Amino acid sequence: MAKLGSPAQALKNSQALEQLVAELIACRACPRLVSWREEIASVKRAAFRADDYWGKPVPPLGSADAKVVVVGLAPAAHGANRTGRMFTGDRAGDFLYRAMHRAGLANQPQSVNSQDGLQLTGAYVTAPVKCAPPANKPTVEEKATCRPFMQRELECLTQARVFVALGGIATTELAVLLEIQPRPKFAHGRELQLADGRHLLCSYHPSQQNTFTGKLTQEMLDDVFLRAVELAELQRL
């Protein structure tokens, strides 16, 4: 059996993630989500009329050796559902990748499209729901249907030291998947050390609803990611 952290285990984890992504992109398990993501991709927003929308489940971004795992909610209808990359092409992604760049986890502060050169270092970005949901609100059944994908992701991320939960749903889903007891109550800036020595950090989601109102500022999000890097013992670039 390959040892945890060995080259053989790293290769096995990378291959497992590749297989997962292939299965994920082909998934049509939730009729409501399939209908919505494809309708959005067909109708489009006027500003993106010339774009070819992705319109499928959005795969995670990052590698299996990541130490910081960032968990959002679901792809945005005209963001990741358009570009095909998590937190890319909308203002939430602008906020997120600026913070990750300042913390040394991303090589650039912008996320325009899937070909813009963005690369992560020591980080991995995913979401518990892989398809854009109407009104950004997946149902209980849709979250449950999608959960096995993220469970498999976490099993591959054997080097993960810190989980950054962006919002209450991400916090709840991580609590379920990581078997955290008692279940943590969401609060921005909350920090929890898990029984296995890993850490959970909570932050408001960088949605426009939070950033436009000042509920979440860039400085607040920067502080979360600087703390994540510190806890993961990553050397900043």
Q: Tell me: the pLDDT tens digits for 3-17? A: 666 788 888 999 999
The predicted pLDDT at position 16 comes to 96
What the chain holds in terms of domains, given with CATH numbers, is 7-232 (3.40.470.10)
Of 94, 87, 90, 92, nearest to 124 (Cα)?
87
What gap in Å lies between CA 147 and CA 133, rounded to an integer? 15
Q: Which residues contact 211 (CB under 8 A, 6 or more apart)?
A: 91, 92, 95, 217
List strands edge to edge, sheet with 123-126. Answer: 61-62, 123-126, 68-71, 162-166, 199-203, 191-193
- pLDDT digits over 179-206, tens only? 999 999 999 999 999 999 999 999 999 9
What gap in Å lies between CA 129 and CA 126, rounded to an integer? 9
Q: Which amino acid is at 197?
A: G
Q: Are 161 and 198 in contact (CB under 8 A)?
A: yes
- pLDDT digits over 131-186, tens only? 999 999 999 999 999 999 999 999 999 999 999 999 999 999 999 999 999 999 99
Q: Is the peptide bond before 75 cis (omega within 30 degrees of 0)?
A: no
Report if pTM > 0.85: yes
DSSP character at residue 133: P
pLDDT > 70 in the chain, percent: 97
Place of tokens 């559902």: 81
Q: Chain-centre distance of CA 195, in angstroms?
A: 23
